[in-house]
Chains A and B, each alone.
Chain A
Amino acid sequence: EAGVAQSPRYKIIEKRQSVAFWCNPISGHATLYWYQQILGQGPKLLIQFQNNGVVDDSQLPKDRFSAERLKGVDSTLKIQPAKLEDSAVYLCASSYGITSGSETQYFGPGTRLLVL
């Protein structure tokens, strides 16, 4: 079974530039999550999708971050404009779904973002 795919793996940009990350979840997984992990901290949930609907985006800085999952499969996360404090690893995870009884989230390899 293929795992969660993410691209790019690394990205270096200057502040005020924009950047986009892509995630393809495990086949059949209805729920998709984006996390931000700052060095030395645990992952923090940014947004959760159930199919193509947003379930929780309470911790997403909506003035600069946006995310979509238009067809209920892959997803993109965008930052515009980027700030220095956005430097982090952005992790995508997926699970079968909140009503399936299988709650385990499986993580992709992450995108390491450095904002200069």
Chain B
Amino acid sequence: EDKVVQSPLSLVVHEGDTVTLNCSYEVTNFRSLLWYKQEKKAPTFLFMLTSSGIEKKSGRLSSILDKKELFSILNITATQTGDSAVYLCAPRAGGTSYGKLTFGQGTILTVHP
């Protein structure tokens, strides 16, 4: 059975801090890994990672994948209160699983002013 574990489960920081969120996975026929941000509504897409060791960057957010060690990290630098949300990682399967996403339980990030 596919498994995704995110850590920490929750994190409380102050504005300006840097955070690192972790995602480890065991997925049959792994194809890619997606990161989503979820506030009090639907998950919004952040990154899709397919290759090991290549950092993807968007503003203060960056992410990298290690397909050998089966994990990904999401970094947020100079955090702001608007970064407060649940961050979900979701490995995507290929082959006969037709692109199925398996979500982790999420990391709850709270940024205080």
Which A residues lie at the B interface, using CB under 8 A?
Answer: 4, 31, 33, 40-45, 48, 50, 55-56, 91, 95, 98, 103-110
Q: Chain B interface residue count: which class?
A: 20 to 34
Whether the Cβ atoms of A42 and B103 lie closer than 8 Å is yes
In the complex where A91-B42, A103-B48 touch, is A98 in contact with B105 (Cβ < 8 A)? no
Whether the Cβ atoms of A42 and B105 lie closer than 8 Å is yes
Whether the Cβ atoms of A56 and B97 lie closer than 8 Å is yes
Which B residues lie at the A interface, using CB under 8 A?
Answer: 4, 31-32, 34, 36, 41-45, 48, 88, 90, 92, 97-106
Distance in Å: Cβ of B108 to nearest Cβ of chain A: 9
Residues of B within 8 A of A31 (CB): 99
Residues of A within 8 A of B32 (CB): 103
CA distance A110 to B43 in the complex (A): 10
Whether the Cβ atoms of B100 and A48 lie closer than 8 Å is yes
Whether the Cβ atoms of A107 and B98 lie closer than 8 Å is no
Q: Pick the contact of A98 from B36, B88, B98, B104 — CB < 8 Å? A: B98
